[in-house]
Structure 1
Amino acid sequence: MKVLVITYYWPPGGGPGVQRWLKFVKYLRDFGIEPVVFTAENPFYPTVDETLIQDVPDGIKIVKCPIFEPNNIVAKFKKNETQRSAGFLDPNPSLISKFLLYIRANYFIPDARKFWVKPAVKMLIKYLSENSVDAVITTGPPHSLHLIGKKLKEVTGIKWIADFRDPWTSIDYFHLLPLTNSARKKHFRLEEEVVRAADRVIMVSSNAKKKYEDFNENIDVITNGFDTEKGLEEVKIELDKKFSITHIGTMNSERNPKAFWEALSEISEENSEFTDDLELKFIGKVDDSVWENEIESRGFKDVKRVSYVPHLEAKLYQRKSQVLLIVVNDYPSAKEMIPGKTFEYLQANRPILGFAPEGGDLAEILSNTNSGVAVDFRNKELAKKSILNLYSNFKKGNLESTSKGIDSFHRRKLTEKLSVIIKDLIQN
């Protein structure tokens, strides 16, 4: 069996957007499925991580198509400003930033890669006519790629799986975009058309699946996961000497655990020994508003800030930390959100302190695996109690993770689940 995987994010692109389908492609051959990857020839990646290339299996066919990238033009307009990804909206935008965001939100629907749809469809229709492929898989965001899959199905009749690596209209920053009513309606209409048209739909969380069930009965949930990294298992890990709490990844203005900062401040004021023992680490981009208003202003003694490290190094930070901090954006669809790093946190086997809504997928995973606790966004008292419990165990020398059942989140296990879906679609 052969499947065509259409993905914008691919090595050497860095960041979480690459991981999901890089790992699926890595293991699909183990289950009798040969992947062919279709990606952009000249993509605009906010981050680059050359180390991820080593995970691309030998001999994998990779087809590339040139793409017109408006972000390259935007970068010239904003050459004196810090570039931000879609989910990292500037809380204090300049006039030009406001203008560019308005244009992007209302004229590049569903996203700035919309100009890739026609040339990609043209190239792939020719490719499919000359090569035997059993199914097409599109993964978004960018959700423009689903429009490629939809058109290919309409023209060629090929079976099509739409994978929503992140939600479309319920993604964490959608409600912040300056959308006109007509633009908003167009997003919702295109989203529904894609879900209805796809032969199978894959979501990453149970709460996300619920939103789409009225549009398509063939929806599966495959979460993100963790993988075994070459060389990492042999590295001897020494835990941080101090009571370290580490956050890996982006912390934007909406991913700002106020109850956490307030609890830490109160404990520090009440316990000078805690203040001396505490070490905060932020590996990844932290929004200036969070850094200045919540971290610097509170005067924490020992704070480390690293903007970006290669994936393997990030996993080492996870394993050395006493406690791992994970935060879901505080937004209307927060229950759907499971940050990709959740699963590598599970693999790191360190206690996890999460800030997420009750009844959400993240809270359920932490509870079911006994890997940590999820605190509601504004529950300062539970945050304080949880931190003090962790600190007490640290002082006793027995701060350990007691997680269970995490093997089901290994990338190979998840790929096996994907392979069943693919085979079922192709054979029926």
Structure 2
Amino acid sequence: MKTSGNKSALIIAYHFPPVAVSSGMHRMIALANALAENDWDVSVLSAHERTYPRSDPETLSQLAPSIRICRSQAFDTAQHLSIKGKYLQLMALPDNLQSWILFGVSRGLREIYRRRPSFILSTYPIASAHVIALILHRLTGIPWVADFRDPMAQEGYPADPLKWNCFNWIEKSAAKHASLLTFATPGALAEYQRRYPEVPDERWMMVSNGFDEEQYKGLSPSSLDTDEIVILHSGLIYIHERNPRALFQALSELKKEGLFESRKVRFVLRASGHESTYQCWLQELAIESLVGLAPQLPYREALQEMFDVDGLLLLQGAGCNQQIPAKAYEYLRAQKPVLALTDKRGDTAQLLRQHGIASIASLDNKDQIIEVLRSFIGKIKTTGSEASNNLKIDQYSRSNISNHWVGRLSKLIMER
């Protein structure tokens, strides 16, 4: 089927309002809004809301009124199709949303014949979205844009060989059939260009994440009513990719040395997601007075808190060197000093170092963390909690990023 030449887009995204479990949805919200603002007819194909672990209807207000969300049946294999928590491994390939593929293709074909989209765009980290887009592309001939964001098949990930092979097949299919492949970091883009040298340069594009300036309207820095130095980590702390154990050990040793006697320091881990485990570690190391585990806040309140504290904490293991967490851009927007426990060779460290706001140590190196903590806290004591106000942060506005993306998509269609 040939496209009609109208400016119409079909986006396939699992993480889309009203889901409330992924910061990644803001990437697709910004793109959908930018397309709509540029007179594109936008439809978003997503899964049934029953598969969302948590929803927030307020997120729907972030969308342009003209954007249509069409949903297909879908079931989470582990949650809806298991028997006493058990299910066949084949039912979770490429992921637990496998059932979405059949229903999504059917619903997508209906939308295609109604709207005649100029392109189909699918976005990771739900791999089933790419499979739906691949099938629709092969059935209709409509150009496919594969938004990988981050790497899929990596060394040792996924650990299951069958799932790894599925991811690898999806990657190869995208390299062969997608008209445009987009990535969120320079490291991820370079990795895939190395893997697939046969793909022409014009089919690669980097689309970084960023922050949504609209969310910051009405927010302004205000000092916390405390004599403590408060350092905040906002968001999930995955035990494998962001394990804070070495940080806790460093704090325990520094407490014994008396570093925190002259001026109180408190770390706040906001909505870490593994509170029971971390509470046990804090008690074991006798640092409950230094580290507090705090509940989740509404998004704008969480952004305000980033403005109000003295410093911000970022955790990222070396296995994620080709990824930049969404909070890194929110931290840039807050313009506060950042204690970044991450590999100095990774994309996140490069981003923060470029703007001169971060003190960096490896996540799993206790001795490095101790050294950097001393200087980080000392710097806040002597120079305060404001980072340079000369940061060129406009380049990370999702609005600017998405408008550039829309321009590339428009060019893609014109070139066909």
When normalised by structure 2's length, the TM-score is 0.87
Q: Secondary structure at the match of 1:299?
A: coil
Q: Which residue of 1 aligns with 2:46?
A: 39
Q: 1:6 aligns with which of 12, 18, 37?
A: 12
Q: Which residue of 2 aligns with 1:316?
A: 304
1:295-341 Cα deviation digits (max 9, x unpaired): 3322221433234222112112211121111111343xx21121111
1:261-280 Cα deviation digits (max 9, x unpaired): 23322222222544861111
Q: Which residue of 2 aligns with 1:247?
A: 233
Structure 1 residue 347, shift from structure 2 partner: 0.8
Structure 1 residue 74, shift from structure 2 partner: 6.4
CA distance in 2, matches of 1:354, 1:265: 19
CA pair 75-387 structure 1, distance change in 2 beyond 3 A: farther
Q: Secondary structure at the match of 2:176?
A: helix
Q: Is the 8 A contact 2:75 2:81 kept in 1?
A: no
The aligned amino acid for 2:363 is F
Q: 2:190 aligns with which of 199, 210, 226?
A: 210
CA pair 132-174 structure 1, distance change in 2 beyond 3 A: same
Q: Secondary structure at the match of 2:250?
A: helix
Q: Secondary structure at the match of 1:353?
A: strand
Q: Which residue of 1 aligns with 2:31?
A: 24
Q: 1:121 aligns with which of 102, 105, 116?
A: 105
Structure 1 residue 240, shift from structure 2 partner: 5.9
Structure 1 residue 29, shift from structure 2 partner: 3.1
CA pair 212-44 structure 1, distance change in 2 beyond 3 A: same
CA distance in 1, matches of 2:379, 2:70: 52
1:356-375 counterparts in 2 under 5 A? 356-375=342-361
Q: 1:417 aligns with which of 404, 407, 410?
A: 404
Q: 1:404 aligns with which of 388, 391, 406?
A: 391
1:341-360 Cα deviation digits (max 9, x unpaired): 11111111111111211221
Q: Which residue of 2 aligns with 1:267?
A: 254
Question: Which stretch has the larger CA shift, 6-15 or 40-49?
Answer: 40-49
Q: Which residue of 2 aligns with 1:303?
A: 291
CA distance in 2, matches of 1:221, 1:231: 25
The aligned amino acid for 1:63 is C
Q: Which residue of 2 aligns with 1:228?
A: 213
CA distance in 2, matches of 1:70, 1:263: 41
Structure 1 residue 68, shift from structure 2 partner: 2.8
CA pair 141-231 structure 1, distance change in 2 beyond 3 A: closer
Q: Secondary structure at the match of 2:45?
A: strand
CA distance in 1, matches of 2:104, 2:280: 45
Question: Which stretch has the larger CA shift, 44-53 or 340-349?
Answer: 44-53
Q: Which residue of 2 aligns with 1:73?
A: 80
CA distance in 2, matches of 1:415, 1:263: 41
Q: Which residue of 1 aligns with 2:137?
A: 153
Q: Secondary structure at the match of 2:373?
A: helix
CA distance in 2, matches of 1:151, 1:348: 42
Structure 2 residue runs of 5 or longer lacking an equivalent are 1-6
Q: Is the 8 A contact 1:22 1:55 kept in 2?
A: yes
Q: Which residue of 2 aligns with 1:111?
A: 95
Q: Is the 8 A contact 2:219 2:304 kept in 1?
A: no
The aligned amino acid for 1:28 is L
Q: 2:147 aligns with which of 157, 160, 163?
A: 163
Structure 1 residue 204, shift from structure 2 partner: 0.9
CA pair 382-31 structure 1, distance change in 2 beyond 3 A: farther
CA distance in 1, matches of 2:49, 2:219: 36
CA pair 183-11 structure 1, distance change in 2 beyond 3 A: closer
Q: Is the aligned partner of 1:390 residue 2:376?
A: yes
Structure 1 residue runs of 5 or longer lacking an equivalent are 78-95
The aligned amino acid for 1:409 is Y
Q: 1:64 aligns with which of 71, 74, 98?
A: 71
Q: Is the aligned partner of 1:256 residue 2:243?
A: yes
Structure 1 residue 134, shift from structure 2 partner: 0.8
Q: Which residue of 2 aligns with 1:86?
A: none
Give percent identity, aligned residues only. 22
Q: Is the aligned partner of 1:189 residue 2:169?
A: yes
Q: Is the aligned partner of 1:49 residue 2:56?
A: yes
Q: Is the 8 A contact 2:75 2:100 kept in 1?
A: yes
1:335-374 counterparts in 2 under 5 A? 335-374=321-360
Structure 1 residue 110, shift from structure 2 partner: 0.8
Q: Secondary structure at the match of 2:24?
A: helix
